[in-house]
Amino acid sequence: MVSPRANLSNALRVTSVAVLVVLGLVVAASALSSAGRPTSVGAETLAAAAHPSTGLSALPSTTGASSRHGPAGSVASTPSGGGSTSAPIYEAGTDLTTVTGGLSYPQAVAYDGSNGYVYVGDGSGHTVSVISGTGVVDEIGVLTGPYAVAYDPANGDVYVANGGSANLSVISGTTVVATVGVQHGPEGLGYDSATGQVYVANYLSASVSVVSGTSVLSNITVQNGPLGIAYDPGDGDVYVANSGSDSVSVISGTTVTATITVQSFPAGMVYDSGNGEVYVTNVYSDSVSVISGTTVVATIDGFSYPGAAAYDPSNGEVYVTSFGSGLSAGSVSVISGTTVAATIGVEDGPTALAYDSGNGYVYVANENSASVSVISTLLELGGIAGSASLDGGQTAPFSTAVLGPGAGIENVSVLVSPSLGLSCSVGTPNDAVLSASCQATTVGSYTLTFYAVDALGNAVWTSTPSGGIVVLPALGTPTVVSSASTVTTGGSVVFSAWEAGGAAPYSYAWTGLPTGCAGVSSPEIVCSPMSVGNLTVSVKVTDANGVVSGVSNAVTVRVTTPPSTASSSALSSTNELLDVVLGLAIAALVLAGAALWLARSRGGGGGAARPARSEVAGQPSTPANETNPPP
């Protein structure tokens, strides 16, 4: 009989054996359950790529905080008061402005000194537009074909030649006060300040009508196609351009005293009080004849269908329109003596012009553009065009347009304040534009000023806003880093560019990238290479000022093939089988040990029996319930 104590001991042994068996089975089951489970890779790599401060030993060393666009010391935005755009600080044009409102087919222009108005005859609209400064303030209805306009300072009236109606409209202010009948085709007007009379060229009648107030005093026969009229106060003569006869008639009082031969189709005329000469435009010869008395003393070439002429007493220059040909825009030539000093571009089809002594402007009627160009004849400069910011070491151009050439540009200089840090040299001056080339050397804000002096000693200047040009740190060579030095095909690697200096925003030109990268024009590129080999990646940066950096350092990333699926699977299966065998072996050993233990604990299997407690030495014990056998 097994004692209760022995039973408890056996139960503990069996429990221990069961625990060991379970542990062995767990090991085997764990090995089986791990078969085919994928391993998580690449998460740390992508995390590092998304946060450049993590695990990138190639980052440039800095001693201070850094921004996204570069380590400490770089400039991601321009200093206060500056800009990073290359747009002009000021726009500057050749014309002061262009008037378009209410105009249809402008063909005649005159200035009224009593009220400061400019009167423009509209050839197709049968109207006269009134301009004050640079805006149309009124429109006056007249008769058919207002082809010429003249101002009479003696009575303050404006005379309009209505070429299609054989009459004149007389305007006082903005009201038509009279209509005066003349001969056929009135298309030219001139005022004689000595007599206060108006001379009218009748194109279709080969005559000139002399008008005083609202009365026609006489009609003078001239040659064919009279158009332009000019009065010479020096000798009191009136000059008439006969377009159909290539001649000029000279009238004294009411008598033709001389006829002067000029070139083909003379049309426009003006008297130059500075030299006492008369300028005649020859439309089909592309020239201007200069007459002194009754002699042609010079012929000026280089025009394109010259039509009208006007004189500016403030600078002593003559302005001549060039109608142009084909689709080319028209222009106005500025003549000083017998030399074309400047050519000013206007709009298409300039046919008439007049000088406004009140503001120093010349008004040009452009019939094909339905506009009037306004030109300043005084020495006047426009705003300064150029970049509002420069990189250190960068050289950039600056310029200003000459809105009014005055007596011709004689001297130009450029002043920079403060004087150090922006070094400028002046280009060759002309009467159209002044230029300078400036090199930035020191970081800071600068003011640039152009000074100009004309032949009469008149000086003008134009400046940028105070501190309007900002010099930034020079654009440095960028640095490239990568998120990993090795990547398998199909995996991801990030390349990042770090730039310093220059003007934001930047553009990036990468080289050495594999196909299929995302964000190729940005500072951060995500690539998934599909071919085995080495990637050698670099970048160049261009900033907002157009400055291009040097080539960055080259970063090499090795692209490898991931382990093949078959070999990886076989190796995994082998490892898993070994784990199962090991687990079963452990379980078998545990079971064997448990069986041996149990056998010994029960006294079977050849083990020695323990003696009974009542056994007398040398004699076998007899159980209490056993009887002795018979002898």
Whether the predicted pLDDT of 380 surpasses 90: no
Question: What mean pLDDT, rounded, does the chain reach?
Answer: 79
Q: What fold, for 43-75+475-560?
A: Immunoglobulin-like (2.60.40)
pLDDT value at position 312? 87
The residue among 601 and 566 whose pLDDT is bigger is: 601
Structural domain boundaries in the chain: 43-75+475-560, 101-216, 222-369, 381-472
Q: 228 falls in which pLDDT band (50, 70, 90)? A: very high
The CATH code for residues 101-216 is 2.130.10.10
pLDDT higher than threshold 90 for residue 183: yes
Residue with tokens 């009082």: 253
Which pLDDT score is estimated for 21? 52
- pLDDT of 470-493, one tens digit each? 999 999 999 999 999 999 999 999
CB 115 within 8 A of CB 78: no
**Cα(7)–Cα(603) distance, rounded to whole angstroms?**
14
pLDDT > 90? residue 446: yes
How many percent of the chain have pLDDT more than 70?
Answer: 75
Residues 14-72: tens digit of each pLDDT: 555 555 555 555 444 444 444 443 333 332 322 233 323 322 222 222 222 222 222 22
Report how far residue 546's alpha carbon sits from residue 87's, in angstroms, rounded to the nearest whole number: 12
Greater model confidence, 259 or 56: 259
Closest CA to 411 of 378, 379, 386, 437: 379
**DSSP label at residue 56:** -
For the stretch 46-79, what's the b/e string if a residue is b when 16 or more beta carbons lie within 10 angstroms of its beta carbon? bebbeebeeebeeeeeeeeebeebbbeebbeebe
Mean pLDDT of 449-460: 82
CA dist list (Å): 85 to 388, 470, 478: 6, 11, 21
**For residue 574, what pLDDT is reported?**
63
Find the farthest-apart pair of alpha carbons in the chain and give their distance in angstroms, rounded. 200
222-369 and 381-472 in the same fold = no
| CATH of the domain spanning 381-472, picked from 3.30.70.20, 2.60.40.10, 3.30.360.10, 2.40.30.30 | 2.60.40.10
* pLDDT for 8: 45
Residue 402 confidence class, pLDDT cut points 50, 70, 90: confident
First-last CA distance in the chain: 30
pTM: 0.54
CATH number for the domain whose boundaries are 222-369: 2.130.10.10
Give the lowest-confidence range in 271-285, 444-458, 617-631.
617-631
State yes or no: pLDDT of 291 exceeds 90. yes
More confident residue, 542 or 628: 542
